[in-house]
A and B are shown apart, each in its own frame.
Chain A
Amino acid sequence: MIIKQISVFLENISGRLAEVTRILADNKINLRALTIADTADFGILRIIAVKPDEAVRILTQAGFMAKETDVLAVEVEDKPGALAAVLDIFSKNSINIEYMYASLERSADKAVIVIKVEDVERGIKVVEANGLKPISAF
């Protein structure tokens, strides 16, 4: 239940992010979650969207550097302590989280957390062993 995240190199020019979202909008690709990692000169835009391979193809054609990255996503209750419980599982199993971000909620009482670990397969197994359900799409 690996999720394909789209990673896009974001040149530090005003309007560059808007360009990416505009291209995806024009191609009717719906975004579920996004975050930007910042370095001094450029950013890396990380997006969860429907049809990730199509999104990568469209962005590449438009001259962007884009590629798919494997991540996992877990649905948790939208209540205090839910995220802490998930992170505990990773820390107990010595899995280092490279980055994570929360997504837009699909329903009022749930939140989805996107997590990048080095070995995504193992991350999924550990999550499952602890009674949580990695989701395959959202």
Chain B
Amino acid sequence: MSFSKVEALARGELESLQFDRLGFTLEQAFKTPFYRGRLKEAGIGEDFRPGSWEEFQRLPFTVKDDLRAAYPVGLLAEPHEKIVRLHASSGTTGIPTVIYHTKDDLSSWAGLVRRSLCAAGAGESDVFQNMMTYGLFTGGFGLHYGAEELGMLVIPTGAGNTMRQFRMMRDFKTTIVHATPSYLLHIHEKMREEGIGREELFLRKAIVGGEPHSEDTRRKIEELLKIDVYNCYGLSELNGPGVAFECVHKAGMHLWEDAYIMEIIDPDTLLPLPDGETGELVCTTLQRNATPLIRYRTRDLTRIIAEPCACGRTHRRIARIMGRSDDMLIINGVNVFPSQIEEVLMRSRGIGSNYQIIVEKAGALDKLTVKTEIASSAFSDDTRSMNALTRYIKEALKASISINPAVELHEPGILPVWEGKATRVIDTR
């Protein structure tokens, strides 16, 4: 396995590179109306250059609402003629957030993705089919340019149209796909339905992202499709995919520390937590010209794995995202992450991969209903064995989340699968 020198820099050298580049980020930040105000408020002068982590922590946090308030140009650090692209959030929950890119920004992003794909064992002889949505959403373009940069043959199918995906995979001998975990499970279902054999495909790896998912889901996909699945982390505010990526050891995602300073904080006290403790991931961009971000609160909950990785890269890893601090459901006073429910469902036999979580008010109390799809193989004429299956799932869920849910069995194909991101949680309270 070969990788660039910067990926294996000694920790001390990596940190001095970070402080160095932080100076550039602060310089860019002062060019934006938003940060000029924010930094001034925090008593940070234009010549402030942190020399230690204590000093670094004097810098104020940035949150998503800041990006919304700065919409559309409050966080733009470069003149318009330097900007070549923008990506924006869908804005379904309010004002969108926008991230601008200069040519250099796009090229360093593509470089990070290229490096990430290499880490997952991709090479220029691979054929890469990108099943992620292209557009304002960063998943499609992000991997696309990184994969081209690496020299793979890229097939930009985008999301959906599963039959066409099969045709492309078969005819062009696709070896690596990029998709959401729910779409890969959908692909497997469809293969069974259409009678497409595994041997017709040349697939060896999948890069998954776009949705939080459990380790059990990864293993399930690996077993069903007989491929290696690599987890990828990114969010549109920090470019998109390619912020952190699993290497072939699949033991957490290397977060590229020459491009981001990462911290884990306690979301309540906002104080930094030591490596290994779970909290909210906070990132500072180090290479972005157009939209620099300082101590950006991602809302994603994870922990830092500081132990050296077997691959030799020195960039620390983050663990699988436990959930978003805003995804957390509070049901009758108990904190529940949808990922906990998913984990139980994925290891339960007799049910399919699709599910839906419904939270509603029943009188004064909250009621949790988990809808699952029964696997064809588990369908029985015997109502008792069907009831036993429901009871088993119910008890497994109760043991994991300390809440007694209602569990429903449904026919495969009844619960909605959106061929991109699945809508798993419906909270009507």
* B409-A41 in contact (CB<8A): yes
What is the CB-to-nearest-CB distance from B25 to chain A, in angstroms, rounded to a whole number? 54
Contacts of B220 in A (CB 8 A): none
Within 8 A of B (CB), among A42-75: 42, 44, 46, 63-65, 67, 69
Q: List 22 A-B contacts (CB under 8 A).
A: A7-B379, A7-B381, A9-B374, A9-B411, A11-B410, A11-B411, A11-B414, A13-B414, A37-B383, A39-B383, A39-B386, A41-B408, A41-B410, A44-B383, A44-B386, A46-B381, A63-B413, A65-B376, A65-B412, A69-B381, A98-B382, A116-B381
Residues of A within 8 A of B404 (CB): none
* Set of chain A residues within 8 Å of B387, measured between Cβ atoms: 39
Minimum CB–CB distance from A45 to chain B (whole Å) comes to: 10
Complex CA gap A109/B96 in Å reads 75
Kindly state the interface size class of chain B when it binds its partner.
Answer: 10 to 19
B409 / chain A contacts, CB cutoff of 8 Å: 41-42
A65 CA to B413 CA in the complex, in Å?
11
Q: Is A65's CB under 8 angstroms from B382's CB?
A: no
Report the nearest B residue to A5, measured CB to CB.
B381
Shortest Cβ gap from B232 to chain A (Å): 33
CA A41 to CA B412, docked complex, whole Å: 14
Partner of B374, one of A13, A37, A65: A65
Smallest Cβ-Cβ distance to B408: which chain A residue: A41
Kindly list chain B residues whose C-beta atoms are within 8 Å of the C-beta of A39: 383, 386-387
Q: Which of A41, A42, A67 contacts B381 (CB 8 A)?
A: A67
Task: Please give, as numbers and ranges, the residues of chain B lying within 8 Å of A69 by CB-CB distance.
Answer: 381
How far, in whole Å, are A98 and B383 apart by their CA atoms in the complex? 10
Which B351-389 residues have C-beta < 8 A from chain A?
374, 376, 379, 381-383, 386-387
Within the assembled complex, what's the spacing in Å between the Cα atoms of A9 and B386? 11
Interface residues of A (CB under 8 A from B): 5, 7, 9, 11, 13, 37, 39, 41-42, 44, 46, 63-65, 67, 69, 98, 116
Q: Measuring CB to CB, which residues of chain B are less than 8 angstroms from any residue of chain A?
A: 374, 376, 379, 381-383, 386-387, 408-414
Contacts of A37 in B (CB 8 A): 383
Bound Cα distance A67, B382 (Å): 12
Residues of B within 8 A of A41 (CB): 408-410
Instruction: Give, as a whole number of angstroms, the nearest-CB distance from B192 to chain A.
Output: 12
Contacting residues, chain A, for B376 (C-beta < 8 A):
65
Q: Which residues of chain A come closer than 8 Å to B383, judged between CB atoms? A: 37, 39, 44
Chain A residues within an 8 Å CB radius of B381:
5, 7, 44, 46, 67, 69, 116
Asked whether B410 lies within 8 Å of A42 as measured between CB atoms, the reply is yes
Task: Kindly provide the distance from the CB of B357 to the nearest chain A CB, expressed in whole angstroms.
Answer: 16
Q: Which residue of B lies closest to A69 (CB)?
A: B381
In order of increasing CB-CB distance, the 10 nearest A-B pairs are: A7-B381, A69-B381, A41-B408, A65-B379, A11-B411, A65-B376, A9-B379, A37-B383, A9-B411, A11-B414
CB of A92 to closest CB in B, whole Å? 24
Shortest distance between the CB of A77 and any CB in chain B (Å) = 29
What residues of A have a CB within 8 angstroms of the CB of B408 in the complex?
A: 41
**Assembly CA distance A9 to B414 (angstroms):** 12
State how many angstroms separate the Cβ of A127 from the closest Cβ of chain B: 20
Q: How far is the CB of A97 from chain B (nearest CB, A)?
A: 13
Determine how close the nearest CB of chain A comes to the CB of B335; give it in whole angstroms: 27
Contacts of A46 in B (CB 8 A): 381
CA gap between A9 and B408 in the complex, in Å: 13
Q: Which residues of B contact A98 (CB under 8 A)?
A: 382
Contacting residues, chain A, for B414 (C-beta < 8 A): 11, 13
Complex CA–CA separation, A69 to B381 (angstroms): 7
A98 to B385, CA, bound (A): 12
Instruction: Give B4 Cβ to nearest chain A Cβ, in Å.
Output: 51
Q: Are A67 and B379 in contact (CB under 8 A)?
A: yes
In the complex, residue of chain B having the shortest beta-carbon distance to the beta carbon of A37: B383
Q: Report the Cα distance A69→B379, complex, angstroms.
A: 11
Contacts A5-B381, A44-B386 known; 15 new A-B pairs at CB < 8 A: A7-B379, A39-B383, A39-B387, A42-B410, A42-B411, A44-B381, A46-B381, A63-B411, A63-B413, A64-B411, A65-B374, A65-B379, A65-B411, A98-B382, A116-B381
A65 to B410, CA, bound (A): 10
Complexed CA–CA distance, A39 and B379 (Å) = 14
Q: Which residue of A lies closest to B414 (CB)?
A: A11
Contacts of A116 in B (CB 8 A): 381
The residues of A that contact B382 with a CB separation of less than 8 Å are 98
**CB closest chain-A residue, reference B382:** A98
Closest to B378 in A: A65
Q: List, in ascending order, chain A residues with CB within 8 A of B379's CB.
A: 7, 9, 65, 67
Question: How many whole Å from A63's CB to the nearest CB in chain B?
Answer: 6
Closest-CB distance, B348 to chain A (whole angstroms): 17
A65: nearest residue on chain B (CB-CB)?
Answer: B379
A16 to B167, CA, bound (A): 33
- Which of B381, B382, B383, B412 has the most chain A CB atoms closer than 10 A to its own CB? B381
Q: List residues of chain A with CB within 8 A of the CB of B413.
A: 63
A11, B409: Cα distance in complex, Å? 9
Q: Which residue of B lies closest to A66 (CB)?
A: B379
